[in-house]
Amino acid sequence: MKFGIVVNEGPYQHQAADSAYLFCKAAIGKGHEIWRVFFYHDGVNNATKLTEPPQDDRNIVNRWSRLAQEHGVDLVVCVAAALRRGIREENLAQGFRISGLGQLAEAGIQTDRMITFGD
């Protein structure tokens, strides 16, 4: 099965980013495809390389980057939501790219299921 994922919450304010990541890992482990992860609203904060969690905490941004690198997952950040939060192309962590809502619509067309994490 081919999944599209939407993440609407930031990496440390809510469980949504962790749940989305763990879902992606489990789905890939079962042989499914994560076609695209679209970061929207506060979810765009998952994409900034400016995040520096304490050493004893998980680094959610790095987790997403590794997922993209190891499994070819397309990590798309909503341009309007990103700019509202001061996130620009030069602030993106490895594996993320900025694009528009058309990428979200395309994911809905190209995938078997769209799953949203966060409000």
Q: Which of 78, 79, 82, 107 is catalytic?
A: 78
Tell me the chain's radius of gyration from C-alpha atoms.
13
89: Cβ–Cβ under 8 A, 6 or more apart, which residues? 98
User: Could you give the CA distance from residue 82 to residue 85 in angstroms, rounded to a whole number?
Assistant: 5
* In contact, 93 and 64? CB cutoff 8 Å: yes
Answer yes or no: 24 catalytic.
no
Annotated active-site positions, please? 78
